[in-house]
Amino acid sequence: MLTFYFGVMGSGKSAFALMTWHEKHRPTASHHPNRAVLATTMDRSVDKVTSRTGMAAQALRITPGEVTPEMFGGADTVVIDEAQFLTPDDVDGLATLAAAGTDVVCFGLRTDFTSRMFAGSRRLLELADHVGHLPIEPRCARCERPALINARRVNGVVTTEGDTVVIGDVTGGSPSDPDQLGFDDTSAGGQPGTGLGAAGRVSVEYDPMCFGCWSNEVGARRFIDLRQSPESRHESGEPGSGQHGHR
């Protein structure tokens, strides 16, 4: 059976993946032995699944686009964390594996920081035998309604621009902990792969937010950007624009 559990950041995806693997992995049981493989597409740690609860376990690191049934070594159960980064073809392969009798359990986000669905999550929703919300329901950081969006903040400002994959932390992470804080390589004129922006390191945090609060912040940000654009200042005749306003 192919199962997909999803939630926003902070809903305990990795914790539930770890607990599921721990419960399923009983290779030496005298009755109904079961060998489970824990895998992740990417995480804060190499070859590990880690949770903000402090739980962690070694995992098979898989590269999106290169998933094959053979890589799981004939396991009875496959548990995959960060499944949103799988490609549609990867998910097709997992569905085939599940149809052949392997229990495949995936955990991941449904949408990215722009509110758009990940390609892997979309295919999982299309093919999974069972789909469910994770039971922990984070609340909006602004109004306490159920959170829907994984809002990305770059230096404290909500943004809808940048690479889809920038590993960061939910608000409240410790800046001194490199595993809990992401850096956007390409913001502010930075160089890809360096972790440095033009003016230094750029902090990336994620706020769980409802759609209303997220869209309000995004809209306010776009309005400010528009007001500060050279074209807007030119048309309004603001100081420094080289034009006088209409009288």
Q: pLDDT (tens digit, 9 = 90+) per residue, 174-187?
A: 333 333 333 333 33
pLDDT, one tens digit per residue, over 49-61 is: 888 878 888 899 9
Residue 159's DSSP bridge partners are: 152
Residue 49: its pLDDT value, please? 87
Quick check: 34 and 76 in contact, CB under 8 A?
yes
Residue 161: its pLDDT value, please? 85
Our answer to whether residue 82 is catalytic in this structure is yes
pLDDT interval class at 208 (50, 70, 90): very high
Decide: pTM greater than 0.85. Answer: no
pLDDT interval class at 130 (50, 70, 90): very high
- Other residues' Cβ atoms within 10 Å of the Cβ of residue 234: 13
Quick check: 18 and 57 in contact, CB under 8 A?
yes
Residue 51: its pLDDT value, please? 83
pLDDT at 197 exceeding the cut of 50: no
Domains recognised in the chain with CATH numbers: 2-133 (3.40.50.300), 149-236 (no CATH)
SS3 of the chain: the string is CEEEEECCCCCCHHHHHHHHHHHHCECCCCCCCECEEEEECCCCCCCEEECCCCCEEECEECCCCCCCHHHHCCCCEEEEECHHHCCHHHHHHHHHHHHCCCEEEEEECCECCCCCECHHHHHHHHHCCEEEECCCCCECCCCCCECCEEEEEECCEEECCCCCCCCCEECCCCCCCCCCCEECCCHHHCECCCCEECCECCEEEEEEECHHHHHHHHHHHHHHHHHHCHHHHHHHCCCCCCCCCCC
pLDDT at 117 exceeding the cut of 90: yes
Average pLDDT, the chain: 79
Residue 45: its pLDDT value, please? 53
Residue 165: its pLDDT value, please? 66
Residue 149's DSSP bridge partners are: 209
pLDDT interval class at 194 (50, 70, 90): very low
Which is the catalytic residue, given 70, 82, 205, 231?
A: 82
